């Protein structure tokens, strides 16, 4: 059964180098024509994209799909729906499931389940067995399945010796190790950023140095081993500066920032609402400003959501007992747009951090493409896989936690007006959502 | 008429705004003196009396009655003060009152207690005072003296000694001290 | 800033104005008098149901609150959750909703997590929430009874009453708080109450027991403990919070005592009129020598006694009902 032909009319077709107004014709999972007035065959679905940006579907480097093990919070299916509504055509599933994605069986399970999901599901394998930080997972075998990113996310690999070995082992395999940078002994089991706020509230803090010290360590290990490394959810001004300097020195490092880290700061925790609890924690206003400036300067490779669903019961606990993490797939694009300057933002920069940059890190581009995944983050040109988003930078809506596609409700943005919305998402040539309705 | 505002310490957030004076200080003194004689007439053994003024408006009248009784009979009657804030039956619908001092040194068993207040209105303050006194032992009898009885009783309470009967409407307020009695309104601050 | 806790909650002293604090102290004076009667009971909270919900054990504080509630004629539901089947990790919302279904007017709660009462007040906004200590955050009634005790002692010396003095006696008073400030909710509450009343607060502790960013707090950090003792009008000692991990922050209890303990030797540096306080329970021989704890300068027993009238005042003001609307006097 083939998908109907789609024609997108009158949008601003974006990048990678320049943008122009035009139409796009999609058939059989590919872009078949791009031009100023495309003729559509009969039976084609017309999508009006006037005033909208038409670009490659967003790619999330950092999604927690919770399956297997925590399906009460989210499943591959529901997470993919949330992604589609957010404008994503691909997500990379994090391995901190139960059991972890540290074996051929588990990775294979998620890849198989992902085939019927609304968006393309790639998998990040664990670096160590059970994410315990003690013994390396079968990285080569998982790479053979198509895994290109490895992380123990949820936690950073604490043992420097083990991290060095993993980088050394991974380097010739052409894969990237990704790190949740937080030294646990410095983080002292804290629940929010360490500072005047945490000290007044009587909450143990996670100091910035816990993140920054591990960033420093891993930069040096990359220098030593030559393996490429991706830094997950950098949250402080200094972390960004360290990685940018390393990159300037020619080291193979990339980085992502999460929307909550460039939108909210530590004062949100003053209500003791666990909705605002996350690791690494919300930081200072100065850090937020620095992250936004780095995004605008084009210094960040990717915006990644760290979409972390939790059941309402689990977030209805005391602040220090509740699990960390917030939802993000459905609002990430709008929040990124705001940080880049709103409707005046440069669409090239927008698609760079939301789609092209992450597609490169995840190795999901046409030149990287592997069996089981189509190509993402590409140019809008004839022959490319049709993974597209139609994004309206002038739309706005109020977030309602009860109408999210995600199974969970833990969004810190409930009641907030978001500017910018994905009006339609096309995955492998199929229209998966239109105007907020899953097709 | 002199503009005079007396901060009503009983109810937070209100101020008494006078409209007109009903009794001059001299008239108040005469009424108190007359009540003192009535009290002496009715209570043969005046040393068995304990005069308790209700916070805050009744204190000055209790002291004055004790002084006049001392002048006339030579007996130093024991006095005390009672704050009924914690005994009110309407504590959920009335403001949390600023509480004042309670000081009752005498043993009230078998004594005659004379409660003294400035204004008798719904009777709820007196009822609260009766509840409070019940916790202090068992007086032989309780009598009530008030400077002004303004009517509108909501409970079956009556005063034994009244300085002056003053019918009023419920929108009005009364302010009674040894410096005189005014009628006016209570206004939110 | 909140101007009065009447009809509201008492979760933290950080949001109370001086006026609100003095109101509690003055109301507590009346309850001191009630506690001196033969019948130590008033009907002010008759018919009200107060739940006492202690997720963290504390016999002393719980009994103090329950006594206070009963002396106000309230009905008390005592739930020692710490020893019940409620496990850590159970939804706080579910626990409080179950209790609320029984029909309560107020809940007095102690919890090992900072902010738990704030969260509970959001789950049950119609129930008055009184914080009996939450993690490292606040212990408001302790702060209030400490200030009340100081006012009581100073007023007696000045020959006046606490009520008459309002907050005057605190102006320019030097309060020195010593010990594990970092982990102490009592310290946070004390610092709020004393600074709000006009006193000047100095803290003394080993570097690791000072909270991060203490420089942003409205206190002075003592760099010479002995000198600070000599100029203090009030010395408040804190217990080393071993259960909150303070053990890892100092090399040994012995070292803590030798550097920051109020030993008999150090007590001699104090002026004769300096008041010594401790929220209890004391680690005799650690933060305070037994001899010093039992000396006449220490008002520790008085603090404990004042717990009941202060808690009566807090329960009365928050739970008696009433919004601030006026009615004609009668």
B111-120 pLDDT, tens digit per residue, is 999 999 999 9
Residues of C in contact with B138 (CB under 8 A): none
Distance to chain A for C55, nearest Cα, Å: 11
Dihedral angle over CA of A380, A385, A387, A390, nearest 10: 30
Catalytic residue among A306, A320, A368, A385: A306
Helix (H, G, I), strand (E, B) or coil at C303: helix
Q: Do C134 and C275 belong to one domain?
A: no
| Nearest CA distance, C140 vs chain B (angstrom) | 20
Average pLDDT over residues A55-70: 97
Most confident of A31-40, A263-272, A311-320, B134-143: A263-272
Residues 6+ apart with CB under 8 A from A105: none
Residue B159 counted as domain residue:
yes
- Cα gap C318→C140, rounded to integer Å: 13
Q: Is the pLDDT of residue B96 over 70?
A: no
Say if the Cβ atoms of C322 and B91 lie within 8 Å. Answer: yes
> Who wins on pLDDT, A153 or A371?
A153
Strand, helix or coil for residue C114: coil
> C275: closest CA among C295, C305, C259?
C295
Nearest to C88 among A200, A203, A321 (CB): A321
Q: Which of A17, A103, A8, A82 is nearest to A52 (CA)?
A: A8
Q: Is position B171 within any domain?
A: yes
Both C217 and C127 in one domain: the answer is no
Say how many residues make up chain B: 189
C16 pLDDT more than 80: yes
pLDDT at residue C248, rounded to an integer: 82
Q: Please tell me whether residues C228 and C282 are part of one structural domain.
A: yes
Nearest residue to B27 via CA among B118, B147, B119: B147
Closest-approach residue (CA) in chain C for B125: C330
| Contact at CB, C330 and B93, closer than 8 angstroms | no
C115, C185, C211 member nearest A272 (Cβ): C115
Which residues constitute the domain of residue C240?
A: 140-304
d(CA A123, CA A101): 8
CATH of domain A6-53+381-438: 2.30.40.10
pLDDT in tens, C117-160: 999 999 999 999 999 999 999 999 999 999 999 999 999 999 99
What residues of C are in contact with residue A194 (Cβ under 8 Å)? 212
Q: Is residue B103 scored above 50 in pLDDT? A: yes
The reported pLDDT for the residue numbered C174 is: 98
Q: Which of C15, C53, C92 to mutate to test the interface with A (most CBs of A within 10 A)?
A: C92
pLDDT tens column, C275-299:
999 998 898 999 999 999 999 999 9
Q: CA-to-CA distance for A273 and A259, rounded, in angstroms?
A: 18
Q: Is the pLDDT of residue B4 over 50?
A: no
Greatest alpha-carbon pair distance for chain A in Å reads: 66
Which whole number is the average pLDDT over A33-41?
A: 92
pLDDT > 80? residue C53 = yes
For residue C329, the model assigns a pLDDT of 38
Chain C nearest-CA residue for A197: C213
CA distance A424 to A426: 7
Beta bridge partners of B98: none
Considering only alpha carbons, which residue of chain A is nearest residue C123? A316
The answer to whether C113 contacts A318, with C-beta atoms less than 8 Å apart, is yes
**What total number of domains does chain C contain?**
2
Read off the DSSP letter of residue C11.
Answer: S
* Residues of chain A contacting residue C98, judged by C-beta atoms under 8 Å apart: none
Residue C323 resides in a domain: no
Domain membership flag for residue C3: no
Q: Does B105 touch chain C (CB under 8 A)?
A: no
Residues C90 and C221 in one domain: no
Q: Residue C2 domain-assigned?
A: no
pLDDT of residue B2: 27
Question: What are the chain B neighbours of C30 within 8 Å (beta carbons)?
Answer: 83, 85-86, 99-102
Q: What end-to-end distance do the CA atoms of chain C give, in Å?
A: 33
Residues from chain A that touch C138, judged by Cβ atoms under 8 A, are 202
Question: How many angstroms separate the CA atoms of A100 and A120, rounded?
Answer: 20
CA distances from B151 to A224, B182, C217 (A): 96, 16, 57
CATH assignment of the domain containing C64: 3.40.50.1370
Q: Is there a catalytic annotation at residue A306?
A: yes
The C-alpha atoms of residue C153 and residue C147 are separated, in whole angstroms, by 10
| pLDDT score of C327 | 33
Q: Which of A365, A367, A346, A341 is nearest to A355 (CA)?
A: A365
**Count of structural domains within chain B:** 1
Distance CA A179, CA A188 (A): 19
Q: Which of C309, C321, C314 is nearest to C105 (CA)?
A: C321
Listed residue (A420, A438, A400) closest to A55, CA to CA: A420
pTM of the predicted protein model: 0.90
Name every chain A residue with its beta carbon within 8 A of the beta carbon of C195: none
Q: Would you say residue C328 has pLDDT above 60?
A: no
**Distance between CA atoms of A192 and A320, rounded to whole angstroms?**
9
CA distances for C278 relative to B100, C161, C294, angstroms: 30, 23, 12
User: Where does CATH 2.30.40.10 sit in chain A?
Assistant: 6-53+381-438
Say whether both C83 and C224 belong to one domain.
Answer: no
Range of the domain at B60: 28-184
Distance of residue A434 Cα from the nearest chain C Cα, in angstroms: 37
Residue B78: pLDDT band (50, 70, 90) is very high
* β-strand pairing of A388-398 with A417-427: antiparallel
Across the range A78-96, mean pLDDT stands at 98
Residues C150 and C287 in one domain: yes
Q: What is the mean pLDDT of chain B?
A: 87
CB-based contact A318 C92, cutoff 8 Å: yes
As annotated, the residues of chain A forming the CATH 3.20.20.140 domain(s) are: 57-362
Domain A57-362, second-level architecture:
Alpha-Beta Barrel (3.20)
**Which of A198, A203, A316 lies closest to C93 in CB terms?**
A316
Are residues C166 and C261 both part of a single domain?
Answer: yes
Question: Which candidate from C92, C212, C213 shows the least CB-CB separation from A317?
Answer: C92
| Mean pLDDT (whole number) for A346-373 | 93
pLDDT of residue C243: 62
The pLDDT value recorded for residue A320 is: 93
- Which neighbouring-strand residues pair with B50? B78, B113
pLDDT at A92: 98
CB contact under 8 A, C91 and A200: no
Is residue C102 in some structural domain?
yes
Task: Determine the longest span between alpha carbons in chain B, in angstroms.
Answer: 47
**What count of other Cβ atoms lies within 10 Å of the Cβ of residue A184?**
14
The alpha-carbon gap from B74 to the nearest alpha carbon of chain C, in Å, equals 31
> With helix as H, strand as E and coil as C, how does C129-186 read?
EEEEEECCCECHHHHHHHHHHHHHHHHHHHCCCHHHHCCHHHCCCEEEEECCCCCCHH
Confidence of residue B1 (pLDDT cuts 50, 70, 90): very low
Is B6 a member of any domain? no
Helix (H) / strand (E) containing A422: strand A417-427
Between the CA atoms of A390, A394, A398 and A400, what dihedral angle is there, to the nearest 10 degrees? 0
To the nearest 10 degrees (0 to 180), the angle between helices B59-73 and B25-42 is 60
pLDDT in tens, A362-379: 999 999 977 788 999 999
Going along A237-387, which residue ranges are E strands? 253-257, 302-303
Do β-strands A253-257 and A45-48 pair in parallel, antiparallel, or remain unpaired? unpaired
Beta carbons within 10 angstroms of residue C207's beta carbon = 10
Q: In this structure, what DSSP letter does residue A356 have?
A: I
Looking at the fold, whether C153 and C298 belong to one and the same domain comes out as yes
Q: Answer whether residue C324 is part of any domain.
A: no
Whether C329 and B119 lie within 8 Å, measured CB to CB: yes
Q: Which residues on B lie below 8 Å from C328 (Cβ)?
A: 121, 170-173, 186
Same domain for C134 and C193?
no
* B15 burial type by CB count under 10 A (0-12 exposed, 13-18 middle, 19+ buried): middle
Residues 6+ apart with CB under 8 A from B166: B22, B148, B149, B150, B151, B174, B181, B183
Say whether both C130 and C172 belong to one domain. no
Chain A residues in contact with chain C using a Cβ-Cβ cutoff of 8 Å:
194-196, 198-205, 207, 271-274, 313-314, 316-321
Prediction ipTM score: 0.90
Nearest C-alpha of chain A: how many angstroms from C193? 14
Put simply, the answer to whether C42 touches B11 (Cβ < 8 Å) is no
Mark whether C29 and C134 lie in a shared domain.
Answer: yes
CATH code at position B115: 3.40.50.2020
Residues 6+ apart with CB under 8 A from C308: C31, C35, C64, C67, C68, C71
Tell me if C92 and A202 make a contact (CB, 8 A cut-off): no
How far is Cα A317 from Cα C81, in angstroms, rounded to an integer?
Answer: 15
């Amino acid at each position: 059964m083939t998908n109907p032909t789609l024609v997108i009319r009158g949008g601003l077709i974006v990048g990678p180098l320049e943008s122009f107004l035009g139409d796009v014709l999609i058939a059989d999972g590919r872009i078949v024509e791009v031009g100023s007035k495309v003729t559509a065959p009969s039976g084609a679905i017309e999508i009006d994209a006037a005033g909208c940006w038409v670009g490659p579907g967003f790619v999330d480097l950092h999604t927690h799909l919770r399956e297997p093990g925590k399906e009460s919070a989210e499943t591959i299916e529901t997470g993919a729906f949330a992604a589609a509504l957010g404008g994503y055509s691909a997500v990379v599933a994090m391995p901190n499931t139960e059991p972890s994605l540290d074996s051929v069986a588990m990775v294979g399970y998620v890849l198989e389940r992902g085939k019927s999901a609304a968006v393309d599901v790639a998998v990040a394998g664990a670096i160590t067995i059970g994410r315990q930080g003690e013994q390396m997972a079968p990285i080569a075998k998982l790479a053979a399945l198509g895994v290109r990113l490895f992380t123990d996310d949820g936690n950073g690999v604490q043992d420097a010796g083990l991290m060095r070995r993993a980088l050394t082992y991974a380097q010739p395999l052409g894969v990237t190790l990704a790190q949740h940078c937080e030294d646990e002994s410095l983080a002292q089991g804290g629940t929010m950023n360490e500072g005047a706020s945490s000290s007044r509230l009587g909450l143990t803090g996670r100091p910035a140095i816990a993140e920054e010290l591990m960033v420093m360590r891993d930069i040096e290990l990359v220098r030593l081993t030559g393996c490429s490394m991706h830094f997950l959810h950098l949250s402080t001004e200094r972390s960004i500066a360290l990685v940018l300097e390393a990159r300037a020195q020619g080291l193979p490092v990339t980085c992502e920032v999460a929307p909550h880290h460039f939108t909210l700061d530590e004062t949100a925790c003053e209500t003791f609402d666990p909705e605002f609890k996350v690791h690494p924690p919300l930081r200072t206003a100065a850090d937020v400003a620095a992250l936004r400036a780095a995004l605008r300067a084009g210094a960040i490779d990717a915006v990644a959501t760290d979409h972390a669903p939790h059941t309402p019961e689990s977030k209805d606990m005391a602040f220090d007992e509740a699990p960390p993490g917030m939802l993000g797939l459905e609002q990430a694009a709008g929040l990124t747009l705001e940080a880049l300057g709103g409707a005046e933002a440069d669409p090239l920069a927008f698609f760079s951090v939301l789609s092209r940059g992450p597609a490169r890190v995840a190795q999901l581009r046409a030149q990287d493409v592997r069996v089981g995944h189509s190509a993402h983050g590409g140019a809008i040109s004839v022959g490319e896989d049709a993974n597209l988003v139609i994004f309206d930078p002038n739309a706005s809506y109020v977030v309602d936690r009860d109408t999210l596609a995600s199974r969970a409700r833990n969004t810190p943005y409930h009641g907030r007006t978001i500017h910018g919305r994905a009006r339609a998402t096309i995955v492998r040539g199929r229209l998966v959502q239109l105007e907020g309705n899953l097709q | 008429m002199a503009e005079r505002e007396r901060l009503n310490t009983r109810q937070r957030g209100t101020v008494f705004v006078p409209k007109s004076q009903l009794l001059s200080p001299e008239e108040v003194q005469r009424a108190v003196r007359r009540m003192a004689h009535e009290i002496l007439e009715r209570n043969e053994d005046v040393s068995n009396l304990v005069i308790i003024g209700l916070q805050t408006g009744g204190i000055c009248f209790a002291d004055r009655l004790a002084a006049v009784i001392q002048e006339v009979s030579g007996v130093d009657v024991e006095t005390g003060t009672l704050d009924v804030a914690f005994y009110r039956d309407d504590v959920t619908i009335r403001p949390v009152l600023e509480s004042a001092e309670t000081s009752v040194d005498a043993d009230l068993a078998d004594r005659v207690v004379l409660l003294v207040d400035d204004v008798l209105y719904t009777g709820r303050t007196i009822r609260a005072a009766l509840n409070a006194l019940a916790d202090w032992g068992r007086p032989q009898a309780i009598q009530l003296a008030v400077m002004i009885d303004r009517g509108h009783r909501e409970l079956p309470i009556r005063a034994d000694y009244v300085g002056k009967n003053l019918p009023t409407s419920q929108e009005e307020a009364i302010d009674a001290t040894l410096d005189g009695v005014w009628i006016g309104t209570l206004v939110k601050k | 800033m909140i101007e009065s806790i009447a009809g509201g909650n008492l979760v933290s002293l950080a949001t109370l104005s001086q006026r609100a604090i003095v109101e509690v102290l003055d109301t507590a004076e009346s309850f001191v008098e009630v506690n001196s009667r033969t019948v130590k009971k008033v009907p002010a909270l008759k018919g009200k149901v107060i739940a006492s919900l202690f997720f963290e054990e504390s016999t002393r504080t719980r009994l103090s609150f329950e006594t206070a509630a009963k002396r106000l004629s309230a009905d008390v539901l005592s739930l020692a959750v710490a020893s019940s089947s409620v496990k850590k990790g159970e939804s706080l919302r579910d626990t409080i909703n179950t209790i609320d279904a029984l029909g309560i007017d107020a809940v007095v709660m102690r919890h090992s997590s900072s902010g738990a009462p704030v969260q509970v007040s959001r789950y049950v906004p119609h129930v008055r929430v009184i914080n009996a200590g939450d993690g490292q955050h606040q212990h408001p009634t302790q702060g209030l009874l400490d200030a009340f005790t100081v006012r009581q002692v100073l007023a007696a010396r000045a020959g006046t009453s606490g009520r008459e003095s309002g907050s005057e006696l605190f102006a320019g008073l030097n309060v020195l708080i010593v010990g594990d400030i970092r982990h102490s909710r009592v310290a946070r509450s004390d610092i709020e109450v004393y600074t709000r009343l006009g006193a000047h607060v100095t803290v003394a502790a080993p570097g690791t027991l000072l909270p991060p960013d203490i420089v942003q707090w409205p206190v002075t950090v003592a760099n010479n403990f002995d000198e600070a003792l000599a100029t203090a009008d009030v010395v408040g000692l804190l217990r080393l919070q071993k259960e909150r991990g303070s053990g890892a922050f100092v090399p040994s209890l012995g070292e803590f005592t030798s550097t920051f303990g109020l030993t008999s030797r150090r007590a001699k540096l104090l002026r004769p009129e300096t008041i010594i306080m401790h929220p209890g329970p004391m680690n005799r021989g650690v933060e305070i020598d037994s001899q010093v704890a039992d000396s006449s300068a220490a008002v520790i027993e008085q603090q404990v006694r004042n717990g009941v009238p202060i808690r009566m005042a807090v329960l009365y003001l928050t739970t008696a009902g009433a919004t601030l609307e006026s009615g004609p006097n009668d």
